[in-house]
Chains A and B, each alone.
Chain A
Amino acid sequence: MTTIDAAHRLPRPEDLPPHERHVHQPHWRTKEAEFDAAKFGMWLFLATEVLLFSGMFCAYAVFRMLHPDAWTNGSHYLDWKWGGLNTIVLLVSSFTMAMSIHNAQKNQQGWLKFNLCFTILCALAFVFIKFTFEYTPKWSGWFFFLDPALHHHVDSGRTALGGLFHFVEGYGGKRPGSLFAYPFAESPYEPIWWSVYYISTGIHALHVLIGVGLISWLLWRAQRRHFGPGHYTAVEIVGLYWHIVDMIWIFLFPLLYLIH
């Protein structure tokens, strides 16, 4: 029996922040076992993600072998500067994600939220760059006014969104498969290259957006002080997910942008 005095010196459970109140689900013996299992499960899931992308890498390898010209010609239209910028953006976001796990472990609630926010912003920046500077001009010929590729071709005169976008004749149409309509293609098989490009980067971008959702959820919970040294499972496993999304881009970037 605990004495009344001793009981009074401890905070009542309902006064503790949620992360200190956390109890494991009934079928686990300990909190640690539950945490390990969650991590193990996430690793397995990440293995399935890698295998999903490996299908695309396989298609990439097969068609690059079959149609090397289409690959060099197609890759020629990708700007390594945008790809490189996005690589840096993702690397930074991986770092802030790792930091947020550290913050949770050290109970730095303010930094935790800051780092999660920063990660979300990086992810959004990645998608923004991808869409405005890469997909849109290639698909339809509409260039964002900041795009360096535009400087030689500002003569068309067609603008949209108050001059934010300029249309450049003959530059769009780099689309996958039968949607391909680029007038100056040098290899008859270039449509296949664009199929591989759009699908692999598209599925990757979708993963980035899912990451935005997951990290926003973390932020929402962090706001409610759900995470702390005693409990940070969700931060840890979303972190793992985020690193794999980053890793996949690290492979996609050189394979797509840096071939000659």
Chain B
Amino acid sequence: MTTLDHPHHPAHGGHEGSYLTPKGGFWATVWDWMTTIDHKKIGMMYLVAILTMFFVGGMAALAVRLELLNPTRLDPVTGHVVGSIFSAADATDTKPGNEIYNRMFTLHGAVMVFMFIIPSIPAALGNFLLPLMLGAKDVAFPRLNLCSWYLYVFGSIFAIIAVVGGGIDTGWTFYTPYSTVTDPDHWRLVYMVLGVFILGFSSIFTGLNFVVTVHKLRCPGMGWFDMPLFVWAIYATAIIQVLATPVLGITLLLLIFERLFHIGIFDPALGGDPVLFQHFFWFYSHPAVYIMILPGMAIINETLAVHARKRIFGYRAVAFSSLAIAGISFLVWGHHMFTSEGELSSAIFSALTFLVAIPTAVKMFNWIATLYKGSITFNTPMLYTLFFLFTFAIGGLTGMPLATLSTDLHLHDSYFVVAHFHYVMMGGTVIALLAGLHHWWPKMTGKMYNERAGIMGCFLVFIGFNMTFFIQFIMGSQGMPRRYASYVDDFHWMHMVSTFGSWVLLAGFLTHLVNFMTSLAVGARAPDNPWGGLTLEWDTDSPPIEHNFHHEPILTHGPYDFDDTVPPRTRPGEWPLAAPLPAGATAHH
């Protein structure tokens, strides 16, 4: 009798269909997805959810840019408000329109940060790919994984109720005293903050799940330094998620109590301290910017290596720089508060901030060195990868003048900061997400996207992005403050450029959307390994079978051994074979 030590799982038996195979009729399939504990399905559900949120946040952004196309002002002749899309046609006071503007950029920021970018790559692509790359059947705690998704949806619903109920105007940072005194006695702020609190738990559970998965579910033969760099960076992200988010949790709880009962912790009248809120908030939110960018870097490692067919230069340096970034990110929160904290602490935080640039630069140099003598294919994932290197370099370098005390006093709360964080968050994370989406689309859906349309979309996004945001560096350094609906005429042409850029961006995103949708409907069937990748997700079907692998994989080669490994599940000619062929293999060109 062997049943006791070798459990037999009926679900494991005969059928080896794709994970996308519907389970019965429409409602049965819906039920199957809503109750699934399969990491691939949960990843896809996250993908749909975050892209929906990206759309919501994007619409708010377009509205903000449209408002800024012309400065809001009173017409000296008629006395009517002009240049404001948020004001009634015959309004004679700018205040109501400006208040809507405040709500709009808060909506944009809060949705993009808490509901899109933080969960985006880890929860969607990470969920899908992490177990596959480790050669595992699932994440460590599949039910907790589904629970995270529901918490995400639940938290988002709270936030959306707050928005539909009229929105909040504090900015995504919820600074006190704005957040404790505006809209007196209104429940909207409480709902929004509660929503973000719940989203935090979703994030913690995802991170916790990933840390345990990486430790305990690597396939036989896979040591720590055989893991793809994607996994390393997601692992570093997960650590930050677990260690930073609880502090946001308690901060938001205190904020809710402050709002509801005026407990005074952040209220100077009762002996409290509003700057304490900023410390608490940034203690989470600076590490959170690395929750945003590390997964972007994770993707770049893979797309760069595969489409340049080169071993990543300095594997260990890149792996450890992820951990270094995670560690240092906890020590620099004070650089968001140079103007509200003491001089000594500002100087210390400034010095510590410069340290973050070191591991970041290590990665940049290693990636560029990887490209050297690679055989680069200029397809959509690779173009987006190069796009990332370009814009992220600008984003990172402009962090330097912000980290320098003397220059930051001038640049703080100006459009320079806005441009900086869009170059890192959008130019970094969103661009990497697009690289990754194109790279793994064939694996996730089993369909090829149209390469020409992808490249066209990429060019549009590139032009639109730089048009929208580069000019903001100039505006900011010349004194345009952030979060204002009006401005002096000197800035007018620059705001116009920026707003036109946002339309080009929109066109680029729509191109990708249409491309992806068409590929689902009529796209060519994707081969198992269209790019000749060596990480384990390419070692199974496209789309993967329900239990990921036909046999438990045993690792026999490193993730980037392009020089001496024939990619699995690839017929020669299916991928650009540039490296010298190993003995015994034949190429058909």
A interface residues, Cβ below 8 angstroms from B: 2, 6-7, 10, 13, 23-27, 33, 36-38, 40-41, 44-45, 47-49, 51-56, 58-59, 62-63, 66-67, 70, 176-179, 188-189, 191-192, 195-196, 199, 203
Q: A37-B140, A63-B273, A191-B270 are in contact. List 7 more A-B contacts (CB 8 A).
A: A24-B7, A26-B11, A33-B216, A41-B144, A45-B208, A191-B263, A195-B257
Interface of B, helix, strand, loop or mixed by DSSP: helix
Ranked 7 nearest A-B pairs via Cβ:
A55-B250, A23-B7, A177-B263, A189-B271, A178-B262, A27-B137, A177-B264
Given B9, B216, B247, which contacts A51 in the complex, CB threshold below 8 Å?
A: B247
Q: Digit string of B550-583 for contact with A (CB within 8 Å is 1, else 0)? A: 0000000000000000000000000000000000
Of the candidates B1, B137, B261, which one forms a contact with A177 in the assembled complex, judged by CB atoms under 8 Å apart? Answer: B261
Complex CA gap A159/B346 in Å reads 57
12 contacts across the A-B interface (CB closer than 8 A): A6-B1, A27-B137, A36-B216, A40-B215, A41-B141, A48-B246, A54-B247, A55-B254, A62-B273, A176-B263, A189-B270, A199-B257
Asked if B138 is at the interface (CB within 8 A of a chain A CB), the reply is yes
Q: Is the CB of A13 within 8 A of B4?
A: yes
Q: Are A66 and B273 in contact (CB under 8 A)?
A: yes
Contacts A41-B212, A178-B261, A178-B264: A26 and B9 contacting too (C-beta < 8 A)?
yes
Which listed residue (A26, A27, A54) contacts B217, Cβ 8 A?
A27
Whether the Cβ atoms of B208 and A52 lie closer than 8 Å is: no
Residues of A contacting B264 with CB < 8 Å?
176-178, 191-192, 195
Q: Are B261 and A70 in contact (CB under 8 A)?
A: no
Assess the A177–B242 pair: CB atoms within 8 A: no
**Contact partners of A53 in chain B: CB under 8 A:** 250
Once the chains are docked, how many angstroms separate the CA of A62 from the CA of B267? 14
B residues sitting closer than 8 Å to A (CB atoms) are 1, 3-4, 7, 9, 11-12, 131, 136-138, 140-142, 144, 204, 208-209, 211-212, 215-217, 242-243, 245-247, 249-251, 253-254, 257-258, 261-265, 267, 270-273, 276, 280, 547
User: In the complex, which of the residues B136, B141, B247, B272 contacts A55, with contact meaning CB atoms closer than 8 Å?
Assistant: B247
Q: Kindly list chain B residues whose C-beta atoms are within 8 Å of the C-beta of A195.
A: 257, 263-265
* Identity of the chain B residue whose Cβ is nearest the Cβ of A192 in the assembled complex: B271
A116 to B209, CA, bound (A): 28
Contact B212 A48 (CB under 8 A): no
User: In the complex, which residues of chain A have a beta carbon less than 8 angstroms from the beta carbon of B263?
Assistant: 176-178, 191, 195, 199
The chain A residue with its CB closest to the CB of B280 is A55
Point out the residues of chain B lying under 8 angstroms from A58, CB to CB. Answer: 280
B270 adjacent to A178 (CB under 8 Å): yes
Tell me the bound Cα distance from A40 to B208 in angstroms: 9
Bound form: Cα–Cα A212–B86 in Å = 52
A52 to B211, CA, bound (A): 19
Q: How far is B141's CA from A246's CA once the two chains are assembled, in angstroms?
A: 26
Contact of B216 among A23, A37, A189 (CB under 8 A): A37
User: Most B CB atoms within 10 A — which of A37, A47, A188?
Assistant: A37
* A6, B212: Cα distance in complex, Å: 40
The reply to whether A66 and B271 contact each other, CB–CB distance below 8 Å, is: yes
A-side contacts of B276, CB under 8 Å:
59, 62
Distance between Cα atoms of A13 and B144 in the complex (Å): 29
Q: Would you give the shortest CB distance from A153 to chain B, in whole angstroms?
A: 28
Q: Which residues of A contact B209 (CB under 8 A)?
A: 41
| Distance of B569 from chain A, by nearest CB (Å) | 22
